[in-house]
Each structure stands twice: as C-alpha cells, then as structure tokens.
Structure 1
C-alpha cells in the first residue's frame, strides 16, 4: 500500500483548507501571499492552491527549540515599516 500512496498525484489545498492546515486565518495566509512571506503557491485556472508539502516546508522554517533560538525565520504577515529599513543609514 505504501507504493500506491507514492504514485498518487500531489494534493492541493485552497486557501481556506491551507489556512486550517496551518492553524492560521485565511486573511493571514492572503497577507503572506501578498507580501511574499508565505508558503509557495500555484495558480491553477485562476485559483490559488497550495501543496501540502509546500505548506509543511514553510511551517518547518519556523521550527525552534526555545525562545532564544534564532533559527525560526518565518516572517510576519505584514510589510516592514520604512523606518526599520532605514536603520544604519545616515541622513544628510
């Protein structure tokens, strides 16, 4: 039966199902898509779909073992403010 499962095509989830899979709201997932910070997605016939493998890989990027672990790198679902981007620049 393991070989049969391996031969199945990948399963794609729409935004509502993908958000539920990740434990996020649909709106949060939409924001991630807009800002380019979310999981990889595909457009099939004008519909946005996510593969389960892509969702799991994106979630795994945030895997940490403690609050001081800097390896979790899933960005927030909002753009950075211009002030935070200008840190380190000197004004003339």
Structure 2
C-alpha cells in the first residue's frame, strides 16, 4: 500500500519532469531559459526556489494550451 505522500502531484517540477510534461528534452528546456524561446514561442515561466530552478505545473499546461496547433486529418 502506498502512503499519501507518494500520491501527491508536486506543483513545482524540476527540469526533467517539466520537460517530460511538455514533450521536450531537459536540455532543450534548460536552454530555453537563457534564450527566452522554446520551439519558436516564448519560453515557459520558471521560478528559483533557493538555488533550484522549478517550473509550475499550471504554467507549463497553460504554455502548451497557448502554443498548441490543432491538426486535422485531410479528408479524401
């Protein structure tokens, strides 16, 4: 049986988890912080908690929604 703490979804994500959530590599996400862009769009917001960089889950999901391009299959 898992304890309650293992079922908590963190609000602040490290690079690797944040990158997986939006479908890029951790290195690409790290580079986006200095460049200010990610995949041709403004990079997602990030925060510093002490010496650690973290991404808010809600900011990442908003970034995906804002920058998503819907594609539809061509009908024949």
Name the TM-score, length of structure 1 as normaliser: 0.57
Q: What 5-or-longer segments of structure 1 have no aligned partner?
A: 1-9, 68-92
- In terms of fraction of residues, the more strand-rich structure is 2
User: In the aligned structure 1, how far is the partner of 2:36 from the partner of 2:68?
Assistant: 19
- Greater Cα radius of gyration, structure 1 or 2: 1
Q: Which runs of 5+ in 2 are unaligned?
A: 1-9, 38-42
Count, aligned residues:
58
Could you say what the CA RMSD is over the residues aligned between the two structures, in angstroms?
1.7
Runs of 4+ in 1 over 3 A off after TM superposition: none
Q: Which has the higher contact order (CA 8 A, sep 6+)?
A: 2
TM-score (norm 2): 0.67
- 1:63-92 Cα offsets, whole Å, 9 max, x none, are 22348xxxxxxxxxxxxxxxxxxxxxxxxx
